[in-house]
Structure formats: C-alpha cells, structure tokens
Amino acid sequence: MITGSLNLQEVTKFQEGGIQNWLIFGGPLPLLQKILITPFTVITFLILFVASLAEVNRTPFDLPEAESELVQGFFTEYSGMRWALFYVAEYANMFLVAGVAVALFLGGWESPFGSFLSGPIWGMFWFIIKGMVLVFFQIWLRWTLPRLRVDQLMYTSWKVLTPFLFVCIIAIGLILVL
C-alpha cells in the first residue's frame, strides 16, 4: 500500500536514497506519516520474518522435518553428494525468502548510504550482504530456540500473527488515507 505496487523492482526503487527511506523505517513519506507508519512496518517486517521461518521449516517451526525424530526419508536414503544437494536447496530456499524480505523492507539492491557506494556491482553486493544477514539470523534462531509443538504453532500463526498483521494493514491504510 505504501509503494502503490507489487512489483519488487518498483518497491526497491521507491526505497532509494539510503537507510532512512527503507520501508522498515516508513519509507520516503512525509515526516508525520513516516512517524505514524514506522511501528506498523517494523511489526509487519517481523511477521514476514517469522512467517519465512515457518515457510523454510526452520526452528522453531521445523515440524515437517524434525531431524532428531526422523529415521526415514532423505536423511537415511541419501548420503554424500545427494544428501548435500538437499541441504544446498534448503539454504538456497532460506536465501530466497531473505531476498524477498530485503526487496520489500530493506531497500533491495540500494546502498544504505544513499548514492555513495551505489551502482550495478555495488547493488549486487548490498543485496547479497543484506540477504546473508537475514540468513544468519535464521541460522542463529535455529541454534537458540526450542521446537514448538503443533498446537503452539497453530496458536502462534492464527491467534497472534494473523490478527497483528490485519491490524497493521488497517492502520497503514488509515494513515495513508487520512
């Protein structure tokens, strides 16, 4: 709603001009709108990050593939390079969801310093660095958080994250209209 587009290139171009224009910090809006919208965009980013953890089956949402309980599937059927390819695909999926979060909220390929250190090569550098920081946080959470039970997962997604996201959507829409 803030950018007026679902095209990730246009969303990234909307965030040009440095870290102060990233959507996680309200984007390049007038000051009053930016102050009012920023808490809701931060909450929306956190909800997207938690949902991406659930999408890539990372702890605490790794119910479909809880490695410690599995004695079937690719953990026992494959070894060597075939097993490594499953893990490469898992980490590529983590970078993919991190890339979507970077494009939506963290300025995409734009430099955090405005026009300083910008250009095509620097753009690739900034996108990869931002994505790898989010992947690092996904890995770090796996090391530190316990696994949720199925009922806790359903409670978290349906009774916590979904209502918070609806409140954020309605609040951002009202702020933009008024």
pLDDT tens per residue, range 72-91: 666 667 778 888 888 899 89
Q: How many residues does the chain have?
A: 178
Which residues are CB-neighbours of 36 under 8 A, at least 6 positions away?
175
Domain boundaries, the chain: 8-177
Integer Cα distance of 173 and 178 in angstroms: 9
In tens, the pLDDT along 6-35 reads 999 999 999 988 899 999 998 888 999 999
Instruction: Please state, as a whole number, how many other Cβ atoms lie within 10 Å of the Cβ of residue 143.
Output: 7
CA 49 to chain centre: 4
Token pair for 147: 């696994």
